[in-house]
Amino acid sequence: MSSFWAEMQVFASIASAIFLEAAPFLLLGSVVAAAFEVFAPPDALGRVLGGGRVRGVAVGLFAGLVLPTCECGVVPITRRLLAKGVPPHTAITYMLAAPVINPVVLLSTWVAFRGDWPIVVWRVILVALPAVVVGYSLGRLPGAAILKPGAVSSPAACSCGHDHGASLVQIQDGTSCSCGHDNGPLIASSPRAKLLALVSHTADEFMSMSKYLILGCLAAAAVKAFMPSSVLQAFSGNPVAAVLAMMALAIGLSVCSEADAFVAASLTTFPATAQLAFLAIGPMVDLKLIAMFQATFHPRVTLVLIIVPILMVAMMCIALGVGLGW
């Protein structure tokens, strides 16, 4: 019994430590997302994301540096971009790349891995290549073939940034929409109202994503505290199994990209290539993203968005493990 309680104490301390390290970056990302929703002009994304096919892919790849967002909100943004006529090669590349190639995520990765720049650079590369391949390939299709029929049923949207289509309704005070968000502060334009909107939207974003972070912290702590050493040694000695296991863990946990580096960094028994696989695939394909892909995009497009990043990340990380011995 004493051994059990000792293991539980280790589990609790590891989970708490990971959460306390990661939470400030999740909060910072929530503030950035809220500030963009409240203060940026409604067509800001549409003005920035555009251009010829090659230039458009390049713009979409690095747009997250100036228009940061995590994977939690990037699909609705992409849907609005496509509905406004932004080329698919730009919008799709932005959707896959922005959750990693943005200042908050790059900083959190650098801090989580104690200033290990190769990890940060390889994370960018492992996300950029699938984003470019998928974005450029799907760019050949017209916008109507990208979106699922009925995915954008109406331009109506509430001022919190959520596209509610035909479901937008007026309540007695005229400030609420059917999703339950109170849009009163966002509708107003006074500085005080904008400040209230910023705080409200930040709180909503942080609380919404915290549950995924907590789940990730608990899973990482459970691996370290309870998984037999023989299992961990089997993974660490097999780069292919380690990469595939960490990719499956990333897809299942669905941790926000602003905090997932702390979960990956805590799993020190896995090789660096497996940690990179976790960092690369999670922001492009996870359970919540798969559900949003199915609701937003044509079924064939959804398959491409899921299969191509998984295959490319797996092959690149396994090649890194074999070639570099990480």
Task: Spell out the per-residue pLDDT of the chain, length 326, in tens.
Answer: 567 777 788 888 888 887 887 788 778 767 876 776 777 665 665 666 556 778 889 999 998 888 778 787 788 778 877 877 788 999 899 999 999 999 989 999 999 999 999 999 999 999 999 999 999 999 888 777 898 876 654 444 444 444 444 333 333 334 444 444 444 444 446 788 888 888 888 888 788 767 777 877 788 788 777 877 777 677 777 889 999 999 998 998 888 888 899 999 988 889 999 999 999 999 999 888 888 898 889 999 999 999 999 999 999 999 998 877 66
Q: What is the gyration radius of the CA atoms in the chain, in angstroms?
A: 20
Tokens standing for residue 271: 């090789």
Please tell me the predicted confidence (pLDDT) of residue 325: 67
Residues 215, 251: contact at Cβ < 8 Å?
no
- Cα–Cα distance for residue pair 28/288, rounded to 1 Å: 21
First to last CA, the chain: 38
Name 163's bridge partners: 157
Please tell me the predicted confidence (pLDDT) of residue 320: 92
- Cα–Cα distance for residue pair 134/325, rounded to 1 Å: 28
Q: How many CB atoms lie within 10 A of CB 320?
A: 21
- Cα–Cα distance for residue pair 21/34, rounded to 1 Å: 21
Residues 63, 99: contact at Cβ < 8 Å?
no
Rounded to the nearest angstrom, the gap between the alpha carbon of residue 238 and the centroid of all alpha carbons in its chain is 28
Residues 317, 126: contact at Cβ < 8 Å?
yes
Backbone phi, then psi, for 157, in 5-degree steps? -155, 150
As to burial, measured by CB atoms within 10 angstroms (0-12 exposed, 13-18 middle, 19+ buried), residue 151 is middle
Q: How many CB atoms lie within 10 A of CB 42?
A: 12
Residues 196, 179: contact at Cβ < 8 Å?
no
Residue 16 exposure: Cα atoms within 13 Å on the Cβ side: 6
Taking alpha carbons only, the member of 215, 218, 236 closest to residue 226 is: 218
Tokens standing for residue 278: 């976790």
Please tell me the predicted confidence (pLDDT) of residue 166: 37
Please tell me the predicted confidence (pLDDT) of residue 152: 56
Which pTM value belongs to this model? Answer: 0.75
Residues 138, 92: contact at Cβ < 8 Å?
yes
Tokens standing for residue 178: 């059917």
